[in-house]
Structure 1
């Protein structure tokens, strides 16, 4: 009887292991592939085909939906993914305003969400809601501090501000206005424009009227060209600083000579060619680029890298979670959230990530690089 009982336990354990081995890891992806955020979401959607097909021997099933840059649509997509498709983790959205209500869905369903958007408010302060949210784009405070230290060291005393009128722009303005006084900087303006606007001339003229030593622009993708173009064509000759949201080839192509000389604090991905071949940041970039080019036949940009990095975090955490429960169960989703908090020193395209219960972004000063548009290319500013 003892032998029979032992045999049954072995059989039960074997059946459990087999059921775990046959359980797919379902990943629900929501990106802004259309609408004002399409310059971010389209490259992310193209990254889907490059993502790994398995994690620790388990098949990965990605279900990708377009939120059309609309918070309501993003929330609907998130609810569909957790209720109808039973995903183990949500990734998205591309935009902060779309991400924020998705966090409510994550909390209600106890499903971890890894955002591709930028605002610090997605992961701070940690509370019952945000404990389910993680983020691969460096927080505003990290990048703002790096670029403002550089601005102050360059002798600038007065700084004009133009930003997009959403969570990204306002998040950066909050950091700039908070950090500037301690660095001896005076912010002379707070001008905003919508991502969908076709001109920022009015905002540029108001900034120029304050005669600042330099101007800080907080925008992302091709919309970031508008204020810098307006400033240059209206005769502003001072220094112009941007954010890591401009790190796309389209920004340079559309801006041309008007964006030459722009400086920003950004991720290693953008200047990886200026790093040594053995640098861990460059190795992370090279792995992603090779996978992306294989399925798309073209080079990716930093927004595509956000999605790759989000999946890299899932790849790091999932094996740990699978020792506790099998994919497709509430227990696995909780275990995956807990495992994401234990990620340590993972080199991503966006930075080196070490998560904790108090920090769901995980980056430090090693992740911020000074970058300059020089000769029509993004170069490491030395």
Structure 2
């Protein structure tokens, strides 16, 4: 009898599909200037399911200290040394673009958690879970037109993120009758932007658009308020985080910003396509980190997981983790992602669109008393 039981157990074990671990390298800046973004990114990975595409998953997380040079080193180490099947990151545009070169060279799929812009179409191995800046800034330009705004000033980072926000605005400004009258920049580590703000005020714009992110993105807002600016102020989707609002306090009141719908999930109409997923994520995140703590950034990690989960499940039908064939299969599956309903939007990737979101991924918000209100 014992031999019969043992034989049956062996037969069942042989018949059951073997589970193979999927390795994912995650590169985010949990220290440095972008830590305000990186920490929420990391928080979400701690509460994700322990499987990806039905297989056990190992998330190997590295802190690039908000430095693209570190991001490149970690990306190479993760692919060559740890033999990851997928790279996720980074949380900033500059580090994401730096990683992309490694992903392309080593033929490893990458999902950037930053709006990497036009560069995404040049690299078949890079995808993104964050809305492209032109899509988000279209909502800003439309709001300007609705409020009779004819001129706008810009203050943003003197790096790729500042360029990304400004170029997104430029793509829609003319069509909405808006002229950009000044372009002022500052560094992520700068402690003052008085000079830039004075130049903006001298141009007397009807509105000012800010192109920063993380805690340093609050600096020009506070300086504009201190110098008495009374026009409309727009932030970008890299600033929609209650932690950043606490830094600026009352300076935020009246600020308008584009965002993914997850930020105001409770305020969405019941028929909104992302509401169910957004509410599920909000419940999951808030149970662990406290009521109202979820934000755009943490939700991007969740959407990245949803996209990767679908792609890995498809790739498992063609190859085994840990092989070049599997990495290729994941890449191909990402590119054919269809109707993946996330918290920020509904993802439909194609060979020419590796972000895959549309107007369903955008809402316009207004800051009031330390919280965000949906602009209807």
Q: Same fold (TM over 0.5)?
A: yes
The match for 1:291 among 284, 301, 309 is 284
The match for 1:51 among 48, 52, 55 is 48
Instruction: Report the TM-score, using the length of structure 1 for normalisation.
Output: 0.91
SS, match of residue 156 in structure 2: strand
Instruction: State the shift of 1:283 in Å.
Output: 1.7
SS, match of residue 182 in structure 2: coil
Q: Deviations over 1:307-360 (max 9, x none)?
A: 111111001111111111111111111011000111112221221111111100
The match for 2:140 among 134, 143, 147 is 147
- Structure 2: stretches of 5+ with no match in the other structure: 1-12
Identify the residue that residue 82 of structure 2 maps to in structure 1: 85
Instruction: State the shift of 1:377 in Å.
Output: 1.1
SS, match of residue 237 in structure 1: coil
Instruction: State the shift of 1:80 in Å.
Output: 1.0
Spell out the pairing of 1:166-177 with structure 2 (5 A cutoff).
166-177=159-170
Identify the residue that residue 214 of structure 2 maps to in structure 1: 221
SS, match of residue 310 in structure 2: helix
Distance 1:209 1:97 in 2: 31
Name segments (4+ residues, structure 1) moved above 6 Å: none
Does structure 2 retain, via aligned residues, the 8 Å contact 1:21–1:58? Answer: no
Distance 1:314 1:88 in 2: 11
Identify the residue that residue 10 of structure 1 maps to in structure 2: none
Identify the residue that residue 28 of structure 2 maps to in structure 1: 31
Instruction: State the shift of 1:95 in Å.
Output: 1.0
Instruction: State the shift of 1:277 in Å.
Output: 5.0
Does structure 2 retain, via aligned residues, the 8 Å contact 1:32–1:42? Answer: yes
SS, match of residue 161 in structure 1: strand
Tell me whether 40-49 or 184-193 shows the greater mean CA deviation: 40-49
> Quick check: 1:109 aligned with 2:106?
yes
- Structure 1: stretches of 5+ with no match in the other structure: 1-13
Distance 1:144 1:296 in 2: 31
Instruction: State the shift of 1:251 in Å.
Output: 2.1
> Quick check: 1:379 aligned with 2:376?
no
Does structure 1 retain, via aligned residues, the 8 Å contact 2:31–2:66? Answer: yes
Instruction: State the shift of 1:149 in Å.
Output: 1.2
Q: CA RMSD in A?
A: 1.8
Distance 1:222 1:87 in 2: 32
SS, match of residue 272 in structure 1: helix
Identify the residue that residue 6 of structure 2 maps to in structure 1: none
Instruction: Report the TM-score, using the length of structure 2 for normalisation.
Output: 0.92
Identify the residue that residue 4 of structure 2 maps to in structure 1: none
Instruction: State the shift of 1:232 in Å.
Output: 1.3
SS, match of residue 220 in structure 1: coil
Does structure 1 retain, via aligned residues, the 8 Å contact 2:90–2:112? Answer: yes
